[in-house]
A and B are shown apart, each in its own frame.
Chain A
Amino acid sequence: MTRRLILLLGAATLVGWVSVAAIAAHRLRTVINRDADRLMEITALFSAPGYALLAKRNPEADALLRIPHPRSFEDYWTMRIQVLKADGEVLFYSMEVPPKPFPSAPLDEGFRDTATDRIYTTKILDDVFLQVAQPFSFRDQKVKSATVKVFVPILIFLPINIALSWIVIRRSLRPVEILRREIELRDGGNLSPMGSSGLPAELAPIAASVDRLLERLRTALNAEREFAENSAHELRTPIAASLAQMQRLLAEIPEGQAKTRARGIERSLSNLGHLVEKLRQLAQAESGIGIADHAIDLVQMVRLVIDDLGKKPQFAGPIILDVDDCPTLMRKVDVELFAILLRNLIENALTHGLRDATTTVSVRTDGTIAIANAGPVVPLPELKAITRRFRRGATSAVGSGLGLSIASTVIERIGGSLELASPARGREDGFEAIIRIPRVATTELGVGRIVRF
Chain B
Amino acid sequence: MRILLIEDDKDLGSAVREHTMADGHAVDWAKDLSEARGYASVVSYELALLDIHLPDGNGIEYVREMSNRLPSTPVIIVSARDQISDRIEALNAGACDYLVKPFDLGELSARIRAVARRHGQFPEPIFSVGKLVIHSAERRLYRDGQEVHLTAREWAILNCLLCRPGTVVSKGKIEETLYSFGSEIESNTVEVYVSRLRKKIGAHLIETVRGMGYRLVVR
Seen from chain A, the residues whose Cβ lies within 8 Å of a Cβ on chain B are: 229, 232-233, 236-245, 247-248, 251, 269-270, 273, 277, 280, 301, 304-305, 308, 311-314, 335-336, 339
Complex CA distance for A433 and B103, rounded to whole angstroms? 27
Please list 20 pairs of residues, one from A and one from B, whose beta carbons are closer than 8 Å in the complex, sorted by A's number: A232-B82, A233-B53, A236-B101, A236-B102, A239-B101, A239-B102, A240-B102, A240-B103, A241-B11, A242-B11, A247-B15, A247-B19, A304-B87, A308-B87, A311-B110, A311-B114, A313-B104, A313-B106, A335-B84, A336-B85
Using Cβ atoms and an 8 Å threshold, which residues of chain A touch B16?
244
Asked if B129 is at the interface (CB within 8 A of a chain A CB), the reply is: no
Chain B 56-84: CB-based contact to A (< 8 A → 1; otherwise 0): 00000000000000000000000011111
Using Cβ atoms and an 8 Å threshold, which residues of chain A touch B22?
251
A315 to chain B, nearest CB (A): 11
- In the complex, the answer to whether B105 meets A240 with C-beta atoms within 8 Å is no
Chain B 97-146 interface residues, beta-carbon cutoff 8 Å to A = 97-98, 100-107, 110-111, 114
Complex CA distance for A339 and B101, rounded to whole angstroms? 17
Which are the 4 A-B pairs with shortest beta-carbon distances? A244-B15, A240-B102, A241-B11, A339-B84
Using Cβ atoms and an 8 Å threshold, which residues of chain A touch B98?
308
- In the complex, the answer to whether B12 meets A237 with C-beta atoms within 8 Å is yes
Asked if B88 is at the interface (CB within 8 A of a chain A CB), the reply is: yes
A118 to chain B, nearest CB (A): 97
- In the complex, the answer to whether B84 meets A304 with C-beta atoms within 8 Å is yes
Q: Please judge, given known A-B contacts A311-B111, A313-B110, A336-B85, whether A245 and B104 are in contact too, CB under 8 Å.
A: no
B75 to chain A, nearest CB (A): 16
Using Cβ atoms and an 8 Å threshold, which residues of chain A touch B9?
237-238, 240-241
Using Cβ atoms and an 8 Å threshold, which residues of chain B touch A314?
104
Asked if B191 is at the interface (CB within 8 A of a chain A CB), the reply is: no
B32 to chain A, nearest CB (A): 15
Please report whether the interface of chain A is mostly helix, strand, loop or mixed according to DSSP.
helix
Complex CA distance for A233 and B54, rounded to whole angstroms? 12
Asked if B147 is at the interface (CB within 8 A of a chain A CB), the reply is: no
Complex CA distance for A243 and B108, rounded to whole angstroms? 13
Looking at A241, A301, A312, which has the most chain B CB atoms within 10 Å of its CB?
Answer: A241
Complex CA distance for A317 and B111, rounded to whole angstroms? 18
- In the complex, the answer to whether A237 meets B105 with C-beta atoms within 8 Å is no
Q: Which residue of B lies closest to A338 (CB)?
A: B84
Complex CA distance for A236 and B87, rounded to whole angstroms? 16
Asked if B18 is at the interface (CB within 8 A of a chain A CB), the reply is: yes
Looking at A233, A238, A240, which has the most chain B CB atoms within 10 Å of its CB?
Answer: A240
Please report whether the interface of chain B is mostly helix, strand, loop or mixed according to DSSP.
helix
Q: Which residue of A lies closest to B84 (CB)?
A: A339
Complex CA distance for A112 and B104, rounded to whole angstroms? 119
- In the complex, the answer to whether B15 meets A248 with C-beta atoms within 8 Å is yes
Seen from chain B, the residues whose Cβ lies within 8 Å of a Cβ on chain A are: 9, 11-12, 14-16, 18-19, 22, 53, 80-85, 87-88, 97-98, 100-107, 110-111, 114
Using Cβ atoms and an 8 Å threshold, which residues of chain A touch B15?
241, 244-245, 247-248
Using Cβ atoms and an 8 Å threshold, which residues of chain B touch A311?
97, 107, 110-111, 114
Complex CA distance for A160 and B11, rounded to whole angstroms? 84
- In the complex, the answer to whether A233 meets B12 with C-beta atoms within 8 Å is no
Complex CA distance for A270 and B104, rounded to whole angstroms? 8
- In the complex, the answer to whether B107 meets A312 with C-beta atoms within 8 Å is yes
Q: Which residue of A lies closest to B52 (CB)?
A: A233
Using Cβ atoms and an 8 Å threshold, which residues of chain A touch B110?
311, 313
Complex CA distance for A248 and B106, rounded to whole angstroms? 11
Partner of B80, one of A240, A251, A304, A336: A240
| Given pairs A244-B19, A335-B85, 15 additional interface contacts (CB within 8 A) | A232-B80, A237-B9, A238-B11, A241-B15, A244-B11, A244-B102, A248-B105, A251-B19, A273-B102, A277-B100, A301-B84, A308-B87, A308-B98, A336-B84, A339-B84
Using Cβ atoms and an 8 Å threshold, which residues of chain A touch B111?
311
Q: Which residue of A lies closest to B106 (CB)?
A: A313
- In the complex, the answer to whether A248 meets B18 with C-beta atoms within 8 Å is yes
Using Cβ atoms and an 8 Å threshold, which residues of chain B touch A304?
84, 87-88
Using Cβ atoms and an 8 Å threshold, which residues of chain B touch A277?
82, 100
- In the complex, the answer to whether A237 meets B84 with C-beta atoms within 8 Å is no
Complex CA distance for A313 and B111, rounded to whole angstroms? 10
Using Cβ atoms and an 8 Å threshold, which residues of chain B touch A248?
15, 18-19, 105
Using Cβ atoms and an 8 Å threshold, which residues of chain A touch B18?
248
Complex CA distance for A339 and B81, rounded to whole angstroms? 14
Using Cβ atoms and an 8 Å threshold, which residues of chain B touch A242?
11
Using Cβ atoms and an 8 Å threshold, which residues of chain B touch A339?
83-84
- In the complex, the answer to whether B105 meets A269 with C-beta atoms within 8 Å is no
- In the complex, the answer to whether B102 meets A233 with C-beta atoms within 8 Å is no
Complex CA distance for A335 and B85, rounded to whole angstroms? 7
Complex CA distance for A127 and B26, rounded to whole angstroms? 151
Q: Please judge, given known A-B contacts A269-B102, A270-B102, A312-B107, whether A241 and B12 are in contact too, CB under 8 Å.
A: yes
A337 to chain B, nearest CB (A): 10
Looking at A244, A247, A277, which has the most chain B CB atoms within 10 Å of its CB?
Answer: A244
Complex CA distance for A414 and B97, rounded to whole angstroms? 28
Using Cβ atoms and an 8 Å threshold, which residues of chain A touch B97?
311
Complex CA distance for A243 and B104, rounded to whole angstroms? 8
A412 to chain B, nearest CB (A): 19
Q: Please judge, given known A-B contacts A241-B12, A335-B85, whether A236 and B19 are in contact too, CB under 8 Å.
A: no
Complex CA distance for A269 and B12, rounded to whole angstroms? 14
Partner of B102, one of A243, A251, A335: A243
Using Cβ atoms and an 8 Å threshold, which residues of chain B touch A269?
102
A266 to chain B, nearest CB (A): 9
Using Cβ atoms and an 8 Å threshold, which residues of chain A touch B101?
236-237, 239-240, 273
A174 to chain B, nearest CB (A): 39
Partner of B81, one of A229, A239, A241, A313: A229
Using Cβ atoms and an 8 Å threshold, which residues of chain B touch A243?
102-104
Using Cβ atoms and an 8 Å threshold, which residues of chain B touch A313?
104, 106-107, 110
Using Cβ atoms and an 8 Å threshold, which residues of chain B touch A305?
84
A360 to chain B, nearest CB (A): 22
Q: Which residue of B lies closest to A277 (CB)?
A: B82
Q: Which residue of A lies closest to B97 (CB)?
A: A311
Using Cβ atoms and an 8 Å threshold, which residues of chain B touch A335?
84-85, 88
- In the complex, the answer to whether A247 meets B105 with C-beta atoms within 8 Å is yes
